């Protein structure tokens, strides 16, 4: 178990990490997501003991590891892989063996372990290759194997796939999952790719302005963002201002740009709020859908249709309210949707998330 | 042009016939230069590593001074070493003046700044990700230094080559400390200087060609090691 106690880090008086506290359980994959430049790398460098915090400490199974010498046995329980694949100007074998050599293992044991790791990362037979001649994805696999061969309890990965192609990214993600499951290694990973966070994480923390603004399960973060900034970061396309005008039977009625929207909420009447609705939660019809159970139905006119890969984002205007709905290409064709068409948008009450209106 | 051709002919003849005098000078040159380079490396490489990885007040100034000393005139080094090694100097007791030991001492002083400075440049050129990786793998201080030196080995080898080239080609220190004594302290550069002053241009040129040939062989050998 790794405990982060109130970590703060300042560079030349500028706070980069501000009072971060968290407990990460053994065997958990904990992902830190957030836009670039919010302190993720600095925090991970502190957890990887490459940087000393200005205040606070890191405990590994109850033992403070902050400030320990690099070769301390407890310090050696934490391994780190960086954003840019790092290899030494040497053979692949030497690259993977180096951490074991630091630990003074016998040659035969090193050989056995390195060959096993080469097999695991799918690079058997590469041991004599010069590591600098490998592709980016292969280099990152070597970087991962170099750490994992030392058997760390905690694996820290700082945006490990940020510079890799999708195929290499998938291989690295599979390896991370493999090492987590097979060796029960605690994984702390940072990424600005929220989908990667979704694919890998047991738990996620969103880091903004040097602090964890929200942490929880992927489901919580993606469906109940705590703020407009988080909602924007996780890609909620519709974030609209409104005012609670009525609370009835556990539902809030929000007036937004002349339209009424029903949502689950506890804010008092008169509160100014922001509501978030995912475009993928909104269904589009060309006429009123009498069979729909959706509580919210808004009629409007199509403003524009924007293709994004195999889907299309349809913007619909109703008075001053503009909502985006996400539909497949196929649906656009079948419904023969065109700008200027009159359509109906429907979405269920749980699809609407109310957030406090921030300045 | 005739002198040039004659010089080449003489050089080839001297090499093919293994002229004892030339062989003797060449071997002595190699012994003195290799010793200076070896001793300099023992001091310069660890010193360069310590300066690179330690943070201390005046570090930048020190590096600037070391880099300035690249241009140290050989006659100045010769003069300083003469004063240090002369009977009344602080190391006069060693009686190294006009001996190969004194020449090694002078050349070592001459090339230590170059090899230290180039070692610093080599280590500073290493990707910071490498340093982070070494630390995160749990290396001790000594392992940290050794891995960095290994990673910068090609650039450090280049530093050794530059040091060797500077030492083998210098004449100021060799003349002032060695005195160009035949069979004792005469090396290729001092022999060239003497033969030129005596008007034996073709022999001077021949010795120059041999000097360059040695430098070429050493460079090729180092390149071979780098490419392995």
Q: What is the CATH number of the domain that holds A269?
A: 2.40.50.100
Q: Do A207 and A351 share a domain, yes or no?
A: no
- Please answer yes or no on whether B137 and A99 come within 8 Å at the CB atom: yes
Supply the pLDDT for residue B201. 81
What mean pLDDT do residues B109-138 have? 95
DSSP state of A357: P
What mean pLDDT do residues B6-30 have? 85
Spatial distance between the Cα atoms of A183 and B10, rounded to a whole number of angstroms = 73
Q: Do A64 and A211 share a domain, yes or no?
A: yes
Angle between helices A136-148 and B128-136 (to 10 degrees): 30
B145 touches chain A (CB under 8 A): no
Nearest-CA distance A207 → chain B (Å): 23
Q: Do A116 and A210 share a domain, yes or no?
A: yes
For chain A, how many residues are written? 359
Supply the pLDDT for residue A196. 84
**Which residues, numbered 129 to 148 in chain A, qualify as contacts with chain B under a Cβ-Cβ cut-off of 8 Å?**
143, 146-147
- Please answer yes or no on whether A102 and B139 come within 8 Å at the CB atom: yes
Q: Which residue has the tokens 């703060």?
A: A8
- Cα dihedral B159/B165/B171/B172 (nearest 10): -10
By the 8 A CB rule, do A206 and A221 touch?
Answer: yes
What mean pLDDT do residues B125-152 have? 94
Q: Which residue has the tokens 């300066």?
A: B51
* Residue A85: closest C-alpha in chain B: B129
- Kindly report the average pLDDT of chain B as a whole number: 91
* Residue B127: closest C-alpha in chain A: A86
User: Which of the residues in chain A have pLDDT under 50?
Assistant: none
Supply the pLDDT for residue A153. 94
- Cα dihedral A331/A334/A339/A340 (nearest 10): -120
3-state secondary structure chain B: CHHHHHHHHHHHHHHHCCCHHHHHHHHHHHHHHHHHHHHHHHHHHHHHHHHHHCCCCCHHHHHHHHHHHHHCCHHHHHHHHHHHHCCCCCCHHHCCCCCHHHHHHHHHHHHHHHHHHHHHHHHHCCCHHHHHHHHHCCCCHHHHHHHHHHHCHHHHHHHHHHHHHHHHHCCHHHHHHHCCCCCCCCCHHHHHHHHHHCCCHHHHHHHHHHHHHHHHHHHHHHHHHHHC
| A145: CATH | 3.40.50.300
Sheet holding A272-277, edge to edge: A259-264, A251-256, A238-248, A272-277, A352-356
Q: Say which residues have a Cβ less than 8 Å from residue A55's Cβ, sequence separation at least 6.
A: A6, A7, A8
Q: Do A177 and A296 share a domain, yes or no?
A: no
Residues of A in contact with B226 (CB under 8 A): none
Q: Do A252 and A135 share a domain, yes or no?
A: no
What mean pLDDT do residues B164-175 have? 92
What mean pLDDT do residues B192-215 have? 88
User: Does an H or E element contain A256, and which?
Assistant: strand A251-256
Q: Say which residues have a Cβ less than 8 Å from residue A174's Cβ, sequence separation at least 6.
A: none
Q: Do A288 and A181 share a domain, yes or no?
A: no
Buried-state track B27-47, b at ≥16 Cβ within 10 A, e below 16: ebbeebbebbbebbbeebbeb
3-state secondary structure A195-216: HHHHHHCCEEEEEECCEEEEEE
B135 touches chain A (CB under 8 A): yes
Per cent of chain B over pLDDT 70 is 99
User: What is the Cβ-side half-sphere exposure of residue A252, based on CA atoms within 13 angstroms?
Assistant: 25
Among A198, A230, A262, identify where a domain stops: A230
**Which residues, numbered 78 to 97 in chain A, qualify as contacts with chain B under a Cβ-Cβ cut-off of 8 Å?**
78-80, 82, 84, 86, 88-90
Checking if the pLDDT of B21 tops 90, the result is no
Supply the pLDDT for residue B174. 92
Supply the pLDDT for residue B107. 95
A162 touches chain B (CB under 8 A): no
What mean pLDDT do residues B30-44 have? 96
A103 touches chain B (CB under 8 A): yes
In this prediction, residue B129 has a pLDDT band, given cuts at 50, 70 and 90, of very high
- Residue A32 or residue B7, greater confidence: A32
User: Does an H or E element contain A245, and which?
Assistant: strand A238-248
| B90: CATH | 1.10.3720.10
**Which residues, numbered 38 to 67 in chain A, qualify as contacts with chain B under a Cβ-Cβ cut-off of 8 Å?**
45, 48-50
Range of the domain at A245: 236-356
Lookup: tokens for A207: 């880091």
Among A174, A200, A230, identify where a domain stops: A230
B-interface mutation test, from A48, A97, A98, most B Cβ less than 10 A away:
A98
- Residue B128 or residue A224, greater confidence: B128
Q: Do A150 and A187 share a domain, yes or no?
A: yes
Q: Do A75 and A219 share a domain, yes or no?
A: yes
Identify the three-state secondary structure at position A60. Answer: strand
Supply the pLDDT for residue B91. 92
User: Does an H or E element contain A179, and which?
Assistant: helix A166-183
* Residue B153: closest C-alpha in chain A: A89
Across A264-268, B45-49, B50-54, B186-190, least confident range? A264-268
B133 touches chain A (CB under 8 A): yes
Nearest-CA distance A95 → chain B (Å): 11
Supply the pLDDT for residue B162. 93
| Measured distance between the N- and C-terminal CA atoms of chain B, rounded to whole angstroms | 41
Q: Do A221 and A307 share a domain, yes or no?
A: no
Spatial distance between the Cα atoms of B139 and B148, rounded to a whole number of angstroms = 11
B55 touches chain A (CB under 8 A): no
By the 8 A CB rule, do B4 and B205 touch?
Answer: yes
Q: Do A202 and A288 share a domain, yes or no?
A: no
Residues of B in contact with A99 (CB under 8 A): 137-138
Checking if the pLDDT of B148 tops 70, the result is yes
Supply the pLDDT for residue A226. 87
> Closest partner residue to B135 among A70, A88, A89, by Cβ?
A70
Supply the pLDDT for residue A132. 93
B225 touches chain A (CB under 8 A): no
Range of the domain at B80: 2-227
Q: Do A53 and A196 share a domain, yes or no?
A: yes
Nearest-CA distance A76 → chain B (Å): 5
Total tally of structural domains belonging to chain B: 1
Spatial distance between the Cα atoms of A251 and A348, rounded to a whole number of angstroms = 12
Largest Cα–Cα distance in chain A?
76
Spatial distance between the Cα atoms of A252 and B110, rounded to a whole number of angstroms = 84
Among A184, A203, A230, identify where a domain stops: A230
Q: Say which residues have a Cβ less than 8 Å from residue B58's Cβ, sequence separation at least 6.
A: none
Q: Say which residues have a Cβ less than 8 Å from residue B105's Cβ, sequence separation at least 6.
A: B81, B85, B96, B177
Total tally of structural domains belonging to chain A: 2
Q: Do A275 and A206 share a domain, yes or no?
A: no
């Amino acid at each position: 178990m790794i405990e982060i106690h109130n970590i703060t880090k300042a560079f030349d008086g500028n706070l980069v990490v501000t009072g971060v506290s968290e407990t990460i359980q053994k065997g958990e994959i904990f992902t830190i997501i957030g836009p670039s430049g919010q302190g993720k790398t600095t925090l991970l460098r502190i957890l990887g003991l490459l940087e000393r915090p200005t205040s606070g400490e890191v405990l590994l199974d109850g033992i403070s590891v902050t400030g320990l010498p690099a070769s301390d046995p407890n310090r050696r329980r934490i391994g780190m892989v960086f954003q840019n694949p790092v290899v030494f100007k040497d053979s692949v074998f030497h690259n993977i063996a180096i951490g074991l050599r630091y630990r003074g293992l016998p040659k035969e044991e090193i050989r056995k372990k390195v060959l096993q790791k080469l097999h695991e990362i799918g690079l058997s037979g590469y041991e004599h290759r010069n590591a600098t001649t490998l592709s980016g994805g292969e280099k990152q696999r070597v970087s991962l194997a170099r750490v994992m061969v030392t058997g760390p309890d905690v694996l820290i990965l700082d945006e490990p796939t940020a510079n890799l192609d999708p195929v290499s990214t998938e291989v690295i993600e599979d390896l991370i999952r493999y090492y987590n499951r097979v060796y029960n290694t605690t994984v702390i990973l940072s990424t600005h790719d929220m989908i990667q966070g979704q694919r890998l994480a047991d738990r996620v923390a969103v880091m903004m302005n040097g602090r964890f603004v929200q942490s929880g399960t992927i489901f919580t973060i993606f469906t109940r963002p705590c703020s407009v900034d988080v909602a924007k970061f996780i890609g909620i396309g519709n974030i609209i201002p409104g005012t609670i005008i009525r609370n009835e039977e556990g539902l809030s009625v929000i007036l937004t740009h002349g339209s009424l929207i029903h949502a689950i909420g506890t804010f008092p009447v008169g509160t100014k709020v922001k509501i978030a609705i995912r475009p993928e939660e909104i269904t589009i019809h060309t006429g009123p859908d009498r069979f729909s159970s959706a509580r919210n139905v808004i009629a409007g006119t199509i403003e524009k249709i924007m293709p994004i890969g195999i889907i299309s984002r349809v913007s619909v205007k109703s008075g001053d309210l503009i909502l985006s709905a996400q539909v497949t290409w196929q649906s656009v064709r079948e419904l023969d949707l065109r700008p200027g068409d009159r359509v109906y948008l429907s979405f269920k009450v749980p699809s609407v998330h109310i957030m406090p209106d921030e300045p | 042009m005739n002198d040039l051709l004659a010089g080449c002919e003489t050089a080839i003849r001297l090499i093919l016939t293994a002229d004892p005098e030339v062989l003797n000078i060449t071997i002595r040159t190699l012994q003195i230069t290799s010793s200076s380079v070896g001793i300099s490396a023992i001091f310069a490489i660890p010193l360069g590593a310590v300066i690179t990885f330690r943070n201390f007040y005046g570090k930048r100034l020190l590096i600037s001074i070391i880099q300035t000393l690249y241009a140290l005139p050989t006659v100045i080094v010769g003069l300083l070493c003469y004063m240090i090694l002369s009977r009344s100097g602080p190391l006069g007791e060693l009686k190294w003046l006009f001996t190969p030991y004194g020449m090694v001492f002078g050349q070592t002083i001459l090339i230590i700044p170059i090899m230290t400075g180039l070692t610093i440049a080599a280590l500073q050129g290493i990707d910071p990700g490498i340093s982070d990786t070494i630390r995160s793998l749990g290396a001790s201080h000594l392992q940290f230094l050794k891995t960095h030196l290994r990673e910068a080995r090609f650039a450090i080898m280049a530093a050794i080559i530059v040091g060797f080239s500077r030492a083998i080609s210098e004449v100021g220190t060799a003349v002032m400390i060695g005195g160009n004594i035949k069979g004792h302290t005469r090396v290729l550069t001092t022999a060239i200087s003497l033969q030129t002053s005596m008007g034996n241009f073709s022999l001077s040129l021949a010795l120059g060609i041999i000097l360059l040939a040695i430098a070429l062989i050493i460079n090729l050998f180092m390149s071979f090691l780098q490419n392995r």
